[in-house]
């Protein structure tokens, strides 16, 4: 009985640790080899959240977001990670938030706070103003979920925690997808210490972005001010607010250490444009804002580099706010990102191109006549399947652009819309046969 109890305790502890800030192993981040790269989300090995969107009343209208301009020309919301898609967005000021300053350059409206500021050193005042301006937009997120114990194969309850950012008066809260992944219950603690349940609105595992929603009066919510991540420069001050180790609304300072890093999400998709900072980020900071000296959010803290210990080593990473501004409206309206799909399940990377290992049955590529390694034959009344490399097509280009990595192929497909036609240049018979150009009408990813 004691052994059984000890095993349960160990299992629960491991589950709790796994639910915290996920860490990014820099040494293994960009390893490319000839192993099959998975192009299908279904094969990515990630859990699907059980807190699914329940209707339009949960999602709402993206036009209510403070940075959406109804009169502006519509922009593509395809979740492409290409740098060209990150159009500069003007810094947005908070609009008429009760009790919250509309500009960090003006008075906070709190005479006591302003008196304290006058007693600080000049170099201390900017950071104090940033925190006063933005801290009420940050919330604490606690989740309850379960996982299958690998030893006993039964469900083990586990808890997780992270940070979130209020982005609208309608109750929309931004966070990392990995913070709420698989959550059966989500509870949000607001700036005043009050707690309320939250509902999943939409999630994008490819970019580690999720939106949840709380049902509270608008005057209790203080949306963050959105900045412009395209205007960041290395060396400028950066500030992080979050809930490391459950310590609510902890404020840390640093600088932008580098820009345009790449890292992989939990489902192994490549995220570009990542911001590197040296402000202390620890487990529980995931989903919190990265701020500039004007108190504007320029990124969302998401991961840390580590050398064994899952704690700050002075190398943190944040998703740029311009990526967030492109993705969030579609999550609110649709609950997901509508992406184009080529219909490839797996490919092998080589110096010559991408060898198709497996096609998605009935998918666009199969319908267009492309061939993978999988061969299915009928023998003696039975169907047998086996792999033959020499029958597979080798993709060498898409729309005239040479492709040698699965990441680049996915990047191009992500920039397209369902229904568009791409032209694949392939070499038949494993690369030993004739070169042909095959048009493929893209489908919609699940």
Chain mean pLDDT for the chain? 77
Q: Return the closest-CA partner of residue 137 out of 103, 107, 169, 108.
A: 169
Picking from 312, 334, 356, the residue at the C-terminal end of a domain is: 334
Nearest-angstrom CA–CA distance, 55 and 53: 6
Claim to verify: residue 293 and residue 404 sit in the same structural domain: no
Query: Given pLDDT bands bounded at 50, 70 and 90, which one contains residue 151?
Result: confident
Note whether 291 and 408 are same-domain residues. Answer: no
Report CA 51 to chain centroid distance, whole Å: 17
* Residues 195 and 58 reside in one and the same domain: yes
Please write the tens of the pLDDT for every residue from 197-235. Answer: 999 999 999 999 999 999 999 999 999 999 999 999 999
Per-residue pLDDT at 62: 57
User: Which of 314 and 101 is assigned the larger pLDDT?
Assistant: 314
Angstrom distances, CA of residue 77 to CA of 141, 291, 386:
27, 24, 40
The backbone region for 19, taken as left when phi is positive above 0, alpha when psi lies in -120 to 50, beta otherwise, is: alpha
pLDDT value of residue 295: 93
Q: Cα 184 vs. chain centroid, distance in angstroms?
A: 19
Give the end of a domain, one of 334, 354, 388. Answer: 334
Same domain assignment for residues 68 and 161 = yes
Which residues are identified as catalytic? Answer: 178, 208, 286
The answer to whether residues 229 and 327 belong to one domain is: yes
Residue 106 pLDDT: 59
Radius of gyration in angstroms for the set of CA atoms belonging to the chain, rounded to a whole number: 24
Residue 426 has a pLDDT of: 95
Residue-wise pLDDT for 242-256, tens only, equals 988 878 889 999 999
Residue 69 has pLDDT above 80, yes or no: no
Question: Is residue 318 scored above 90 in pLDDT?
Answer: yes
Residue 48: pLDDT over 70: no
Query: Do both 281 and 356 map to the same domain?
Result: no
Alpha-carbon gap, residue 320 to 348, rounded angstroms? 31
Residues 73 and 191 in one domain: yes
Tell me the three state secondary structure of residue 57: helix
Q: How confident is the model at residue 300 (pLDDT cuts 50, 70, 90)?
A: very high
> What are the DSSP calls for 144-169, one per residue?
EEEEE-TTT-SEEEEEEEEEEEE--T
Answering whether pTM is above 0.85, one says: no
Q: What is the CATH number of the domain that holds 370?
A: 2.30.42.10
The domain of 196 spans 2-334
Distance CA 300, CA 209 (A): 9
Same domain, 193 and 74: yes
CATH number at residue 261: 2.40.10.120
Confidence of residue 156 (pLDDT cuts 50, 70, 90): confident
**229 and 320 part of one domain:** yes
Domain shared by 284 and 183, yes or no: yes
Task: Give the pLDDT confidence score for residue 269 in this predicted structure.
Answer: 84
Closest CA to 233 of 271, 260, 253: 260
Considering the domain architecture, whether residues 120 and 200 belong to the same structural domain is answered as: yes
Looking at residue 370, its pLDDT comes to 94
Residues 121, 128: Cα–Cα separation, whole Å: 11
Per-residue model confidence as pLDDT tens digits over 264-273 = 888 888 888 9
Q: Are residues 88 and 14 in the same domain?
A: yes
Domain boundary among 334, 367, 390: 334
Quick: pLDDT tens for 333-386. 999 888 899 999 989 998 899 999 999 989 999 999 999 988 777 777 777 777
What's the domain count of the chain? 2
């Amino acid at each position: 009985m004691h052994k059984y109890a000890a095993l349960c305790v160990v299992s629960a502890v491991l589950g709790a640790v796994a639910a915290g800030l996920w860490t990014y192993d820099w040494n293994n981040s960009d390893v490319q080899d000839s192993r099959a790269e998975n192009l299908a989300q279904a094969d990515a090995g990630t859990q699907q959240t059980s807190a699914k969107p329940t209707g339009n009343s949960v999602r709402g209208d993206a036009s209510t977001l403070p940075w959406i301009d109804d009169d502006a020309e519509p922009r593509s919301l395809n979740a492409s990670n290409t740098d060209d898609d990150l159009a500069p967005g003007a810094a947005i000021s908070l609009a008429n938030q009760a009790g919250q300053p509309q500009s960090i350059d003006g008075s906070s409206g709190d005479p006591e706070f302003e008196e304290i500021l006058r007693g600080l050193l000049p170099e201390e005042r900017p950071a104090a103003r940033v925190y006063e301006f933005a801290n009420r937009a940050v919330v604490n997120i606690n989740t309850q979920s379960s996982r299958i114990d690998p030893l006993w194969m039964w469900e083990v309850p586990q808890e997780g925690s992270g940070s979130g950012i209020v982005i609208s008066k309608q109750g929309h809260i931004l966070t990392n997808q990995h913070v709420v992944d698989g959550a059966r219950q989500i509870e949000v603690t607001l700036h005043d210490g009050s707690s309320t349940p939250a509902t999943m609105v939409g999630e994008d595992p490819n970019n580690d972005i999720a939106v949840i929603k709380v049902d509270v009066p608008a005057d209790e919510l203080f949306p963050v001010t959105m900045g412009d991540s395209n205007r960041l420069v290395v060396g400028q001050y950066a500030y992080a607010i979050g809930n490391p180790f459950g310590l609510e609304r902890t404020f840390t300072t640093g600088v932008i250490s580098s820009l345009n890093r790449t890292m992989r999400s939990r489902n192994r998709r490549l995220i570009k444009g990542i911001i590197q900072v040296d402000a202390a980020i620890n487990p529980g900071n995931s989903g919190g804002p990265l701020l500039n000296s004007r108190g504007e959010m320029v990124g969302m803290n998401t991961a840390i580099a580590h050398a064994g210990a899952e704690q700050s080593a002075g190398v943190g990473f944040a998703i740029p706010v311009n990526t967030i501004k492109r993705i969030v409206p579609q999550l609110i309206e649709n609950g997901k990102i509508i992406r184009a799909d080529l219909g490839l399940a797996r490919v092998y990377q080589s110096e010559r191109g991408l060898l198709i290992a497996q096609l998605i049955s009935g998918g666009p590529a199969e319908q267009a006549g492309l061939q993978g390694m999988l061969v299915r034959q009928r023998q003696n009344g039975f169907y047998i399947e086996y792999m033959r490399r020499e029958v597979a097509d080798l993709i060498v280009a898409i729309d005239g652009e040479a492709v040698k990595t699965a990441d680049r192929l996915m990047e191009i497909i992500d920039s397209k819309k369902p229904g568009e036609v791409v032209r694949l240049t392939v070499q038949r018979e494993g690369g030993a046969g004739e070169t042909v150009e095959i048009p493929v009408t893209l489908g919609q990813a699940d």
